[in-house]
Amino acid sequence: LPRQAKKSLPSFEKVLALVMDGEQAPQRGFWDALENMCVYHTRVDPNPKKVIEYGTMRSRSYNGVEPYAKSAKTPSLVARARKALGE
């Protein structure tokens, strides 16, 4: 996972940039990229603040657009990150 995640990181960041710049509406790839960023910052480059940031972005980005599936993974990673930060 760490080697593959490091190779994939630029792709995840590009997907996020497209949506953040307003060039594309959130879609499956966006939600997947946010979840993968949470996993990356949990397992590869631990950063609880980033996990919370990306997890929050994921849940807020639905904005009435029903995602293909709401993952239980992201909320649990965010909960672990909050616990690590003492929140």
The angle at the Cα of 73, spanning 37 to 52, to the nearest 5 degrees, equals 50
| CA gap 39, 54 in Å, rounded | 10
Radius of gyration, alpha carbons of the chain: 13
| CA gap 44, 71 in Å, rounded | 20
pLDDT tens per residue across span 22-66: 777 777 778 888 888 899 899 888 999 999 999 988 888 776 666
Q: Which helix (H) or strand (E) holds 57?
A: helix 48-60
Q: What is the reported pLDDT for 65? A: 61
- Please give the residue that has the higher pLDDT: either 82 or 63: 82
pTM as predicted: 0.75
